[in-house]
Each structure stands twice: as C-alpha cells, then as structure tokens.
Amino acid sequence: MDARRVRDWRPITLALALVATFVILLVIGTQRPDETPPAAIQAAPQDWNRKLGPGERPPQFVLFSYDGAGSHDQWTRLLELSGRTGARFTAFLSGVYLLADDQKKQYTAPGHAAGQSSISFGGSQDDVRTRIADLNAAQQRGIEIATHYNGHYCTDKWTTQQWQLELQQFSRFIDQAGVQGLQVEAGAVKGGRTPCLEGKFDAVFAAMISRGMTYDSSQVSDGMLWPAQDKGIWEFSLPMVRMPAVGNKKVTMTDYSLWEALNHSKDDKSKRDEFARATLEVYRAAYDAVLRGNRAPLVIGNHFNDWAGGGFGVAGEQFMGEVCGKPETVCTTFSEVIKWMERQDPAVLDQLRKQPAAQT
C-alpha cells in the first residue's frame, strides 16, 4: 500500500552529496585551528523565527503530521497535548470527512461514481459538527490544516486535470463547512500529502500550483534531507530510516510503513506496547541523527488511526511530549518552516541542502 520508491535522481543526489562531503572534509582539514567551524552558536527556541546569524546553526524543526484528521478522540488527545507542550503540527485532512453520509453524492472521485470513497464519509451531521469544532480549535492553536485529498484513492494514474478536480472538490467541502461554522479558509490550505504517498508528481504539482498551493509531503528520501523546491512546490520528503526492531531494515518513517515492517500490518492489539517502543526507538534515533547532522526538519508521518491497538499514536504522542521542549527544538508546521526558509540567505540554505542526508 505504501510507496517505497525513491525518486530516480536520488542516486545522483547521493553521489553529489558524497562529493560535497569530500570537499567539506578537505576544507575542514585545511582550516587553521583558530577557525572554528560554524556550529557553536545555537538558536534559542523562543527566538527561532528569524534570519540566522553568521555561523549559527538552524533550529531543529520537528514536523509532526497526521493524515485523515477525522477522529474526535485523536483530536481531543492531540489538542490537549499541544495545549500542554505548545507543540504545533500539521493535519492533512481527508475532505470526505466534512460530508455527512447523507451528503456523499456530492463527491465524485476521478474515475469513480458519485458517492464512492475508499474511507467512507463523515458520519452523521453531528459527527461533522464535532469535527468542525475540532478543526476550529486546532486552527486557533496554530495547528495547520492541509489536505490528504478526499476519498483516499491511491493512484499513479491521475492527470493534472483529475488532481485539479480532486482539489476543487476539497475546497468546495471546506467552503460548505464554512457555512456550518468552519473557520479554516480553503485558500489557506497550502499543502498536501497524497493517499499511500502515490501520484505522478508532475501532475500533482501542476494541479497544486494552479490552486496556489506551496508544499507537498508525499515523497520518500533516503535519510533526512532539507526541503527543496521542485516545479515551484516545496517537497518535505518522508525519510527512510533504519528500524532496529526489524533487523535494522530501512523503512519509510510513517506509521503505516512501520506497521507493515513489524508484522505486515496485521491488526494485533496485543502488540500495542511493543510496537510503540519499536517506533519510539526509530523516532529518537532519527532526531539524534538530524540534531547532530544536517539539522534537516524531521518529518513524522502518522494517521488518525488506532492500528495495532493504537501503538503508533502512543509513540507519536510520547515523542511529541518529550522532544518539543528540548533545547534548540521547534515543533511547528510546514508553512512556518517555509516562512523560516524564505527568511534565510539563499546561500545558507544551499549549503544546508548540500550536506549529506542524516542517517540513523
């Protein structure tokens, strides 16, 4: 179900990264002892949203992200946690959750009949009202609402026009929910994560650009890399990292892929604590690797699901609780990181991107 593909150009990027590392090592090797490499000064978290000073290292951004974003139980827990820790995150909402079951005919996925969805719809009118209140509370906390598109169709086939149709419908569901009190504006939805991380990205990005969107987080990279712009869209890739619980195999760091690696996605509730520990171990190692390495924003991808008794949700929440208050660490949203990147000297960002991917 999950895309494991690494884009074709990754090997070239890796080769370039290796060359860059070699050059950096050469430069460091020829430095005089009084020329301390730029690493010593740290950005204080409360003062992170500004241009870096000379030689200053970037804050360690952690980007918690949740796909689906329909469950009231999960919203309740995460809003409480965010209120307690000040952590912000991004919710990739499935648009059909804004349609009550009796409104399902309002959605027509490309290539499907009206009223079909692979993840059902929003439930009762009451369920939708509750969800709207959750989304409003989230937005008031600075949590960002982005899109996981609508009916969770996993496909590499859709054209630009079909992705546009999907996004137009997402905007329409947001606008209609506005009549019922939703305070999220369709125009404020700037990012997307495709279902199953699938899609022909030329087509996805062209559709996003035509809707004024700015970022995607659906591609997979080998280790943690700084976001780069591709055809005008910032790509925040999900990293492949080593998972000790499965013999250090490399796994895409999303709940679904970790679950697949652990027991082929068998829904065994007795595995809740074991899987939570295995996932937490992965998160902690990835955080240490970026913190000590290239400081790339760490993207944690989860769903609002209770797979394996909720073990992945437990790990995500525990990690949010422990990491967001750490020195130099900022748990925020994708759009805030884009604003931060746009404040920086482009040469500084280029340097960051040229650093080798952080690996666990």
The residue ranges that bind Zn ion (CB under 5 A) are: 67, 195
User: Nearest distance from residue 255's CB to Zn ion, in Å?
Assistant: 10
Nearer to Zn ion, 149 or 215 (CB): 149
Q: List helix spans (H) across the chain.
A: 10-29, 72-85, 125-140, 160-179, 201-210, 255-263, 272-292, 311-323, 334-343, 346-354
**CA 56, chain centre distance (Å):** 25
Nearer to Zn ion, 195 or 309 (CB): 195
Query: What residue number has its CB nearest to Zn ion?
Result: 67
Nearer to Zn ion, 238 or 286 (CB): 238
Q: How far, in Å, CA of 291 to CA of 262, rounded?
A: 26
User: Residues of 20-46 as b/e, b for ≥16 C-beta within 10 angstroms?
Assistant: eeeeeeeeeeeeeeeeeeeeeeebebe
Q: How far, in Å, CA of 174 to CA of 9, rounded?
A: 36
Nearer to Zn ion, 67 or 317 (CB): 67
Burial class (CB in 10 A: 0-12, 13-18, 19+), 176: middle
Nearer to Zn ion, 110 or 151 (CB): 151
Cβ 232 vs Cβ 209: under 8 Å: yes
User: Nearest distance from residue 77's CB to Zn ion, in Å?
Assistant: 19
Nearer to Zn ion, 193 or 295 (CB): 193
User: Nearest distance from residue 278's CB to Zn ion, in Å?
Assistant: 21
220-222 sheet: strands from edge to edge: 220-222, 238-243, 249-252
Burial class (CB in 10 A: 0-12, 13-18, 19+), 281: middle
Burial class (CB in 10 A: 0-12, 13-18, 19+), 269: exposed
Mapping DSSP to helix (H, G, I), strand (E, B) and coil, where does residue 106 land? helix
Q: What is the β-pairing status of strands 90-93 and 60-68?
A: parallel
Nearer to Zn ion, 120 or 183 (CB): 120
User: Nearest distance from residue 195's CB to Zn ion, in Å?
Assistant: 5
User: Nearest distance from residue 45's CB to Zn ion, in Å?
Assistant: 31
User: Nearest distance from residue 152's CB to Zn ion, in Å?
Assistant: 6
User: Nearest distance from residue 149's CB to Zn ion, in Å?
Assistant: 9
